[in-house]
Amino acid sequence: MFKVNVNHGHDIAAKGFAVINNVFTANQISEIEKAIKETDCSKSTFRKTDDLFAIRQFLKEVPTACKSIFSSKFTQLIEAIFGSGYFVVKSIYFDKPPQSNWFVAWHQDLTISVAKRKNVAGYGPWTVKQNQFAVQPPLNILKDNFTIRIHLDDADEGNGALKVLPGSHLKSVYRPDSIDWSVESEMICPVMAGGIMIMRPLLMHASNRTVNSKPRKVIHIEFSRIELDGGLTWSEQMEMRNFAGS
């Protein structure tokens, strides 16, 4: 059984995030990258420009990567920190190449992806991007969900590692224009290749431009254990046990 440091759970509760290195081996990373390279990129869920390559619904579009991702070590780590009952609800792959000069402004992840739009009390506003519906759910869902970012490259301040406001997840909805910089202090979160960053959706975070000509490839996976109201369904609900990693 994989043993997790109890401090990781404490950090997620108090700060809204934790970085854990050495979760994936170099061989597992190579297998994931091989699966991505061998995938047909012509679908609408793929976006490829000079400064970004992204795959929405990543686990569905690149199923051959699932076994390497959901290793017994990875799934045991999740259960050790959060307990049982969680399932995947969203997955995206980001490739920020060396020439990339885009940045991500301060924000919280306030929306979830759902299969169809339905007018349900407590859910809204709605958005749609590339035929994918997203909606802001009740706060109890956002407070219980978590995200894991799997790093396939070393990430630091020079190639867009996330910067966060520790503890900001405890402030519920926190608008970027209301950030009080006299009391807030941003923190850069470097992660080694093969490491992960776990974060709560309500954690305020941002990302700088790449300035060191190094790539940054990340797999972003969101988890929940809550069934949605009023007939709404998650767009990518998947049980981790179905991937049967080793």
pLDDT, tens only, 201-229: 999 999 998 888 888 999 999 999 999 99
Tens-digit pLDDT profile for residues 38-56 = 887 766 656 665 545 788 9
pLDDT tops 70 at residue 21: yes
Residue 120: inside a domain: yes
In the sheet where 205-207 sits, what is the strand order? 104-107, 205-207, 162-164, 187-188
Residue 33: inside a domain: yes
Tens-digit pLDDT profile for residues 94-132 = 888 776 667 899 999 999 999 999 999 999 999 998 788
Give the three-class secondary structure for 199. Answer: strand
Residue 1: inside a domain: no
- For 187-213, what is the mean pLDDT? 95
Question: Of all residues in the chain, what percent carry a pLDDT higher than 90?
Answer: 75
Give the three-class secondary structure for 73. Answer: helix
Cα within 13 Å of Cα(116), Cβ side: 4
Written as one letter, the residue type at 215 is P
* Mean pLDDT score across all residues of the chain: 91
Q: Which domain, by its residues, includes 170?
A: 6-242
Residue 89: inside a domain: yes
How many distinct structural domains can be found in the chain?
1
- For 170-181, what is the mean pLDDT? 94
Residue 14: inside a domain: yes
pLDDT tops 80 at residue 4: no
Q: What is the CATH number of the domain that holds 77?
A: 2.60.120.620
Written as one letter, the residue type at 130 is Q
**pLDDT band at residue 244 using 50, 70 and 90 as cut-offs:** low
What is the total residue count of the chain? 246
In the numeric block, the tokens 């401090």 are attached to 7
Predicted local distance difference test score (pLDDT) of residue 131: 80
Q: What is the DSSP letter of 231?
A: T
Give the three-class secondary structure for 172. Answer: coil
